[in-house]
Amino acid sequence: MAAPNSWQTRARGSLLLAACADALGSVFEGQRGLDPERVAEAVDHVASSLCWTDDTAQTLVLAEHLAAHGGRIESDALAAGFADAWSAEPWRGYGHGAVQMLAQINDGTPWREAAQSAFGGSGSLGNGAAMRAAPVGLVPGCSLDEVAVAATASAGVSHVHPEGIDGAVAQALAVAIAARTPKDQGLQVNEVIEAIAARTGAVFAAELRAVPALLAGPAAAISDRYRCDATALGAVPPAIAVFLRHPDDPVALVKEAIGLGGDTDTIAAMAAAICGAHCGEAAVPQPWSAALEQAARVRAAADGLTRSGDAAQRRCEYGSETNGY
């Protein structure tokens, strides 16, 4: 177990909890009107193995990439890494647009061309760049503006539509803010939302600014307000809302995220990535981490992120005086 309150425990908590939530949510992906008892049964009594999907496969590629490149994005290598991961394990539940694009890259099409030509030339506005963005928020020593720039670069190799990019920016910032906020300090909801919204476009910012009104009422108000689907705009704001409703309770958070229905693996994984960054590795339920597929690789990826970036410049690290938003 990593030292309490260290950056390492936050990075491990984020990636482990996200991978567990991805696996738990994957069973329900695409379903609506879920029975809360069925969801609770799956979350409270985990199967012998928690097998994750494309969300975690791509998150690990990005985390390992950042660790290998000093916390920076090298687009050619990152695009090749995503394409290699897909061709090695095409059965992980990738979206149709993602499959087309990754297959093109594997066949030699430059990633810029493949990403730009997706969906008739508008580019993907799917939540795929957001679902994998947590590692960008876990590179130590970055300002929030630097996180936003790196998230944009990480998204751009596959998702060129502004909403697809904003999804990655919002998710990476949420993770970065959570990792910089001590669990016992509490989160200032309006400050958190504004810090994120100010760094996204007007369409995305408007959806984010609807989140605070949804924190006290029933969870159904979230699925009434947002589509909870495979788009960035439909999935990232609800994930942030679920996190803000359950910042210290991963089990309640995962149940609620899955219970929204729709893109259950992805919304649960994104909410859990933020929660794990806030709470650290100790908050990951032991039965989940014990059952998690490739848990050692997930921990190693988090440790690689912890060592990435400029160690002498960890000005935004938890406990520093300059961790304001």
Give the nearer residue to Mg ion in terms of CB position, either 27 or 221.
27
Distance of CA 33 to the CA centre of its chain: 24
Report if residue 54 touches ligand F2R, rule: CB under 6 A: yes
Report if residue 128 touches ligand F2R, rule: CB under 6 A: yes
What letters, b where the CB count within 10 A reaches 16 and e where it falls short, cover 175-199?
Answer: bbbbbbbebeeebeeeebbbbbbeb
Give the nearer residue to Mg ion in terms of CB position, either 17 or 147.
17
Residue 305 and residue 64 in contact, taking contact as beta carbons nearer than 8 Å = no
User: Which of 33-41, 87-95, 147-155, 199-207 is the region at the interface with ligand F2R (rule: CB under 6 A)?
Assistant: 87-95
Give the nearer residue to ligand F2R in terms of CB position, either 94 or 318.
94
Give the nearer residue to ligand F2R in terms of CB position, either 119 or 325.
119
Q: Which of 15, 31, 2 is nearest to 273 (CA)?
A: 15
Q: How far is residue 242 from each of residues 47, 53, 270, 291, measured CA to CA in Å?
A: 24, 21, 10, 24
Q: How far apart are CA 46 and CA 183, in angstroms?
A: 26
Residue at 220: amino acid letter: A
Say whether 248 counts as a known binding-site residue.
no
Report if residue 271 touches ligand F2R, rule: CB under 6 A: no
Q: Applying CB under 6 A, which of residues 9, 231, 289, 308 lies at the interface with ligand F2R?
A: 231
Residues sharing a CB contact under 8 Å with residue 95, sequence separation 6 or more, in sequence order: 54, 126, 128, 230
Residue numbers of the site for Mg ion (CB under 5 A)? 53-55, 93, 263, 265-266
User: Which of 73-81, 119-127, 198-206, 253-261 is the region at the interface with ligand F2R (rule: CB under 6 A)?
Assistant: 119-127
- Which positions from 11 through 40 interact with ligand F2R, judged by CB under 6 A? 29
Q: Applying CB under 6 A, which of residues 16, 17, 20, 98 lies at the interface with ligand F2R?
A: 98
Say whether 310 counts as a known binding-site residue.
no
